[in-house]
Amino acid sequence: MNTVPAPPSELAGRTAVVTGAANGIGAAVAARLTAAGAAVVACDVDAAALADQAARLRDGGARVAEVVGDVSRAATAEQAAQRAEREFGGAHVLVNAAGIQRYGTVETTDESVWNEVLAVNVTSIFLFAKHLVPLMRAAGGGSIVNVSSVQAFVSQTDVVAYSASKGAINALTRAIAVDHAHEQIRCNAVCPGSVDTPMLRTSAARFAGGREPAELLAEWGRSHPLGRAARPEEVAEVCAFLAGPRSSFMTGSEVRVDGGLTAAAGVALPDGG
């Protein structure tokens, strides 16, 4: 099933900064926002993948600037803000889609891994918001969309750093929303379940054992009441809605895009009961 395209002029004249824009959800968001008319500053640490994604968008007529760098570093966020202002005249939208997954409990997770996950998943949001909020204020308002996870609410085993980072994203989202509502700067979180991205496929390859990773991916998808994992474009659709004027009275919200995963109890009645 295809997603419904946004009105082509919905984000015309607007500039968006997107982190994690080379692959997965971030790439889908960048494509979705440009399709709605926005210029995009695309940020990622993967230079080759980012160049490929930017080239595809430009081939479709999009206006794109690339920033290659570690999103957990202030210099990368500052450069993204500078590019947005210099090349496109300012910024109106920030989508923080960059994220990493690491595995371990509190005992087995090294402190360096804990710090890495929190830096990429949470500190990057703080830094990009810090540098983009002034541009949004100058523009008369804006929208920040943070890609979180259902693991801000529930947790699987062996993901202590990831789960903690996603809970922190939701709390940070609320704080930004409250602090900047009077400036017409909105901030919302999108909380996906399993999404068929390179990150999820890497996890499937790690835990597949003797099976095909695709088989494990399908099994994870079946844990959602809708019976499958999401496509990145489906999450990007919600991000685009929150980025644009149709969500003008939403701020501080946590939108679950999880195929019913967190709505379902783990115990079901037997068939024919």
E strands of the chain, at which residues?
A: 15-19, 39-44, 64-68, 93-96, 142-147, 185-192, 254-257
Q: Which of 162, 172, 253, 258 is catalytic?
A: 162
DSSP codes of every residue in 139-180:
HT-EEEEEE--GGGT---TTBHHHHHHHHHHHHHHHHHHHHH
CA 89 to chain centre: 24
Amino acid at 170: N
| 204: phi then psi, degrees, rounded to nearest 5 | -65, -40
Q: Within 13 Å, how many C-alpha atoms sit on residue 210's CB side?
A: 0
Class of residue 213 by CB neighbours under 10 A (exposed 0-12, middle 13-18, buried 19+): middle
E strands of 20-97, at which residues?
A: 39-44, 64-68, 93-96
Q: Is the four-CA dihedral 128, 133, 138, 139 of positive or negative sign?
A: positive
Instruction: Mark whether 103 is an active-site residue.
Output: no
Tokens, residue 171: 């709390």
Cα–Cα dist 147/235, whole Å: 9
Q: Within 13 Å, how many C-alpha atoms sit on residue 7's CB side?
A: 8
Indicate which residues carry an active-site annotation: 162
